[in-house]
């Protein structure tokens, strides 16, 4: 089944294309910098160096630091949905849930695990004070929650998951626990502690 937000539910990344650089590749480099350093700690010098472009090109193409951040955040969210959808393609519902949770665990203990999730980082840093950032975060989190709920429901329909579970509530609980894993990873939790959290998520089903 498909993982991610329904078609048409995401704001497209629209930018001029006639440039002497690839606007999406440069945006992805900006996203990596925002992801590792956070919005406030990232300077224009950091962005220009990472993107390999001049200041005039930056403002002409992306408008502002905030606009570049929001676009890179959306690009990140879209890429994650694509990756997760491909990861579970052809899998049964319960197998899909296990694969997604184990993938997030592996990411948490990887060399980049201390970076956390860009969407969750935004939720902690900006979403409480910036409505534009809040909207991107809310859409992404709701899409993940709904996808987990749909997988639980699909698993119930084929008898893999107990029908006594509330699919919507279970999807919400899974998301909350996985968000916690990301935050703990940023805080330096050990692989053993993170594995314990992942196993707790799996016990929900």
- Residue 92 pLDDT > 90: yes
- Does residue 41 share a domain with residue 118? no
Region 109-132 average pLDDT = 90
Q: Tell me: the pLDDT tens digits for 174-194?
A: 999 999 999 999 999 999 999
Amino acid 16: pLDDT:
47
- Does residue 146 share a domain with residue 49? no
In a domain, 3, yes or no: no
Cα separation, 201 vs 199, whole angstroms: 5
1-18 burial code (b ≥16 CB/10 A, e <16) = eebbbeeeebeeeebeee
In a domain, 169, yes or no: yes
Q: Tell me: the pLDDT tens digits for 150-178?
A: 999 999 999 999 999 999 999 999 999 99
Higher-pLDDT residue of 82 and 127 is 82
Percent with pLDDT over 90 in the chain = 82
Q: Whose CA is closest to 137, among 70, 38, 63?
A: 70
- Does residue 109 share a domain with residue 45? no
- Does residue 183 share a domain with residue 100? yes
- Does residue 133 share a domain with residue 67? no
In a domain, 6, yes or no: no
Count of domains in the chain? 2
In a domain, 4, yes or no: no
Q: What is the CATH number of the domain that holds 198?
A: 1.10.357.10
Q: What is the residue range of 39's domain?
A: 16-75
Q: Do 120 and 76 touch, CB atoms closer than 8 A?
A: no
* Mean pLDDT over the full length of the chain: 91
Which residues, 6+ apart, have CB-to-CB distance to 189 below 8 Å? Answer: 108
- Does residue 124 share a domain with residue 65? no
């Amino acid at each position: 089944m498909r993982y991610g937000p329904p078609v048409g539910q995401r704001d497209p990344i629209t930018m001029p294309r006639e440039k002497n650089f690839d606007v999406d590749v440069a945006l992805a480099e900006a996203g990596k910098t925002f992801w590792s350093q956070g919005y406030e700690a990232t300077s224009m010098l950091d962005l220009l160096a990472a993107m390999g472009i001049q200041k005039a090109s930056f403002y002409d193409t992306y408008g502002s630091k905030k606009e570049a951040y929001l676009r890179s955040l959306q690009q990140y969210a879209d890429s994650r949905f694509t990756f997760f959808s491909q990861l579970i393609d052809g899998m049964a519902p319960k197998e899909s849930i296990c694969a997604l949770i184990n993938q997030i665990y592996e990411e948490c203990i990887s060399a980049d695990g201390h970076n956390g999730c860009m969407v969750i980082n935004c939720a902690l840093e900006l979403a409480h004070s910036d409505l534009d950032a809040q909207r991107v975060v809310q859409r992404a989190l709701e899409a993940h929650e709904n996808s987990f709920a749909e997988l639980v429901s699909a698993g119930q329909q084929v008898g893999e998951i107990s029908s006594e579970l509330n699919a919507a509530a279970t999807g919400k609980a899974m998301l909350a626990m996985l968000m916690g894993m990301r935050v703990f990873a940023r805080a330096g939790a050990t692989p053993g502690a993170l594995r314990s959290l992942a196993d707790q998520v799996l016990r929900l089903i």
